Chains A and B, each alone.
Chain A
Amino acid sequence: MARKYREIGKAGWGYTAITTVVGLIYFFPVLWIILTAFKTRTDALAVPPKLFFTPTFDNFVSVFYRSSITTGTSQATDMALYFFNSIFIAGVSVTAALIVGTLAAYAFSRYPLRGNDTYLFIILTTRMLPPIVVIIPIFLMFRLSGLAGSYWGIILLYTAFNIPFSVWLVKSFFDELNPEIEDAARMDGASERRVFFRFCIPQILAGLSATFVFGLILTWNEFLFALLLTGVETRTVPVAMARTMGGEVGVDYGLLAAIVTLFLIPIFFVTFLLQNQLLRGVTFGTVKK
């Protein structure tokens, strides 16, 4: 009787099980936060922790409406604004950095300067400094120039922070392309602009998506600069989150978990949307063209 062989390229049950366990270990903190968001204050603080409980949406409601302890009336919080700020600031700065980075990467890749690598290295050095080192001069510069607390200030800063990363990553995608394809397009009569937009960009869409998502995650979660350089009107969610800790009633873990859960949704959504592109993006160049 013929022995049944496992299909090549398909993992056996053993490997699948191990991967599932490792995956669950990784996912556990996220799961814990999401569960906590649905717990009452008592459940959230229970020892030993409760795995089974009656879920409640109170935490989510109180993210946006909170009853004042003194008057007892329900009041809208500013959390909706902070969510808008986070989306707006991260979205604009990552997009801007991607555009600038892509143009620069194309130039670095296709029209190398004398000492090209040195320039690339210099660009990267800005990311070598720990943020805490530069925060004071930047804070002073922002205060003097009036950028502190404004949308444009923080967007400018995040854009500048994302550019080195974008240049490096996108350049590697351009480097992987077959330059003969661009030459073929030129010989067909395509202008330089057309070669870039219609022939190069479409080939690296996956890479651009990956770069966008990585940049977005970094910017979305950024705390230190947001804390010091945003004002009341431009505060982002991570800063607002930190401010819910403490306060008159101690740490409200349920509320905090609810904010975090909501905070995860947009990034989850974007990643999910670009999932197919992302996988191709991160494995770019590892397979034969």
Chain B
Amino acid sequence: MSELKVSNLRREFGDVVALEDMSFDVAEGEYFCLLGPSSSGKTTTLRAIAGLEELSNGRVEFGGKNVTTAPVQGRGMSMIFQTFALYPHMTVRANLAHPLIRDGQDSSTVKKRVEEVAELLRVTHTLNRKTTTLSGGEQQRVAIGRAIVRQPKLLLLDEPLTNLDAKLRHEMRAEFKRLHRELGMTMLYATPDQLEALTMGERVGVIQDGKVVAVGTPRDLYQMPEDLYVAQMVGSPPINFLETTASADNQVSLPFLPGPVAAQGVGSGQPVTLGLRPHDIELAQDGSSRSARFKAKIHLTEPLGDVTVIDVETQNATMKMVLREEVAARFSVGQDIEVAFDPSDLHVFDSNTGSRLGPGASQ
């Protein structure tokens, strides 16, 4: 049964449509990520679910009840804000205690719960300090603590890692997964970062211009993206796109390949966009299943430590590929390289509609 059901949300700010037709379901205990670029409506969606935003249309059901117009107070949800939104005039202890006090818990319960949560999030040493004196990571953990202290049924997270440095982000990603496992609450997590969405979400909803355009597990979205937008939102480094026209039914040719390659679902003469993941391109090897081989020139290298992202240039196409560091070390910028991919790894999209063709297409 779905715990949270969001249907057809619409919200306008003057002439700007923030939410156009936002619909999705979140199951009980699920970790659901909303992935979308900035100003695509993620924050507005979370705020609408929390009751902080007035809607011009739509319906929010939570725990089987329609809460669309219910007051903010007492919805049984908590939210972690992008700015953390800690109460600057209060101590950490008072921050953590506030939701419980408002719930009318007695002081001994409040004290016990606050200490439990502080322990869980390792902020016990800060309890008597003002929140303004905390480091970024501590502030973040206090914000999480305040959101989970009353054990809400639904936790809304609005880009909670955006204001943290890379190392902390990495730690906190693991922390969120741990909390989800230990506390078992439903979590709705909004982020512009595909890495966060893919690593944490059990399911991911991809947002474009105020509506959800695709929902699926991270694996599905990565391996069978429904359209061009989803394909470029998911995956790092981003997918390579190649524009071409189908040379015959179920066949496309690329200028840098000697012969046509198979592409299921295309009709002759149809303009198509081919998507090729950087991880699916490798160095050409004899006897490899990667039968489409071509020569290219190295344009740019970005060493990431364990792997190196290489931009290769061939007849009017630039593509990214990923090589292990020790392999990449043999090459330098400007050098020629022979690379290969397996035509079955190609994602084929209709250039006009952007939707997927061939295996996994929705039609």
Instruction: Give A contacts to B, CB under 8 Å.
Output: 178, 180-181, 183-191, 199, 202-203
Contact = CB atoms under 8 A, between A and B. Distances in A.
B117 to A, nearest CB: 14
Given A178-B83, A190-B102, A202-B89, A184 B73 contact: no
A189 B146 CA distance: 12
A184 B80 CA distance: 8
Given A181-B87, A199-B87, A202-B89, A186 B73 contact: yes
Interface string B76-118: 0111011101111100000000110011000000000000000
A178 B73 contact: no
A188 B85 contact: no
10 contacts: A180-B83, A180-B85, A183-B52, A183-B72, A184-B81, A184-B85, A186-B73, A187-B79, A190-B73, A190-B102
B305 interface: no
Contact of A187 (B50, B82, B86, B89): B50
B74 interface: yes
Given A188-B146, A189-B74, A189-B102, A180 B81 contact: yes
Nearest to A182: B85
A199 B89 CA distance: 8
| The 8 residue pairs across chains A and B that have the minimum distance between CB atoms | A189-B102, A180-B85, A188-B99, A184-B85, A202-B89, A180-B81, A186-B72, A181-B85
Given A181-B88, A203-B89, A187 B78 contact: yes
Q: How large is the interface on B (under 10, 10 to 19, 20 to 34, 35 or more residues)?
A: 20 to 34
Given A181-B88, A203-B88, A203-B89, A187 B83 contact: no
Contacts of A186: 52, 72-73
Contacts of B81: 180, 183-184
Contacts of B78: 187
A132 B44 CA distance: 52
A106 B77 CA distance: 27
Contacts of B83: 178, 180
A174 to B, nearest CB: 14
A111 to B, nearest CB: 12
Contacts of A189: 73-74, 99, 102-103
B318 to A, nearest CB: 40
B73 A180 contact: no
Contacts of A178: 83, 85
Nearest to B156: A187
Nearest to A204: B89
A181 B74 CA distance: 17
Contacts of A187: 50, 52, 72-73, 75, 77-79
Interface string B307-332: 00000000000000000000000000
Given A184-B85, A187-B72, A203-B89, 4 more contacts: A181-B85, A185-B98, A187-B52, A202-B89
Nearest to A199: B87
A186 B98 CA distance: 11
Contacts of A180: 81-83, 85
Interface string B28-44: 00000000000000000
A137 B168 CA distance: 67
Contact of A188 (B88, B89, B98): B98
Given A181-B87, A185-B87, A203-B88, A191 B73 contact: yes
